[in-house]
Amino acid sequence: MVRPDDLSAELVRLREQAGLSGRAAAAKAGLSQSRLSRIERGEFMPDIDEVRQLCRLYRAPAEVRRTLTRIAEGIREERAAARVVLQRGSWRMQQRIGRIEQASAHVRSFQPAFVVGLLQTPEYMRGAPGTHEPDETLRARIARQEILSTDRSFTFVMTEGALCLNVGGPDVMIPQLERLADMATGGRHRLGVIPKSVAVPTPELPMHAFHLYDSRAVIVGTLTATAIITDSRDVADYEQAFAQWEHTAVFGEKARDVIDRIAGDYRSLG
């Protein structure tokens, strides 16, 4: 069975298995060679029809076709109003985001307001801003965290202010910060904090959180909507913004020092 963790690599494997060069495959599929090349490098997310066309051309097994089509459907660009998501069950959106994470090799998250969702403890989730969610949604959010133990790569960047936001009081914040401190020096994933001691240029102030999935997609959440963006130019802009904040953040022991200091403040409150 095909693992849905790298659409590009699977399309390359299928093409090579079919004995086709990139040029020949592009011509037969009705694509430009540059477009197919970008798809295979993970720089461009193909639409569903292109995935189906390539699968037919490569004579992919039915199960593989279904898997790759689901990935394309999950990462397609859309703007989903929050009220629609809630009507369908917000847990469905959590599952959809989980599928996008499963389809990515490298996930990068920037959060200026509170702790990144994938790193939240269950207690923090129940008290996080705007998360008055049913147990089904909480279970879906917790289930997504299993991906942290896979071979995928994650880079998280948060502001010090995000960690200072008092969600649920010291009894919630101290275990949450201890978890983050362990992750900062755990070596498996990169966790960075932008300290309050770092002066941020006014024209470049962080406006909102966003999450990058390889170079294919970005998810942006607002008060009223969730946007899944796959336009390569927009994704490139977010990649540039993330690189800026990543450069500003401290990692490793320095990040742990910031987190431990904040946890100390909460211990004094407790």
Domains of the chain, start order: 7-74 (1.10.260.40), 77-269 (3.30.870.10)
What is the reported pTM?
A: 0.74
Query: What local confidence, expressed as pLDDT, does residue 3 receive?
Result: 45
Query: What local confidence, expressed as pLDDT, does residue 1 receive?
Result: 43
Closest CA to 211 of 124, 36, 46, 94: 94
Average pLDDT, the chain: 86
* DSSP-assigned beta bridge partners for residue 154: 107
Confidence of residue 159 (pLDDT cuts 50, 70, 90): very high
Which amino acid does the sequence have at 181? A
Query: What local confidence, expressed as pLDDT, does residue 176 receive?
Result: 97
What's the mean pLDDT in 230-257?
Answer: 93
The torsion of the CA quartet 197, 250, 183, 227, rounded to 10 degrees, works out to 90
Supply 207's token pair. 């406006």
Highest mean pLDDT among 51-65, 200-214, 250-264: 250-264
Query: What local confidence, expressed as pLDDT, does residue 140 receive?
Result: 83
What's the mean pLDDT in 192-215?
Answer: 86
**C-alpha span between 213 and 108 (Å, rounded):** 7
Q: Is 100 exposed, middle or buried (0-12, 13-18, 19+ CB in 10 A)?
A: buried
Query: What local confidence, expressed as pLDDT, does residue 249 receive?
Result: 96
Q: Residue 223: how many CB atoms within 10 A of its CB?
A: 7
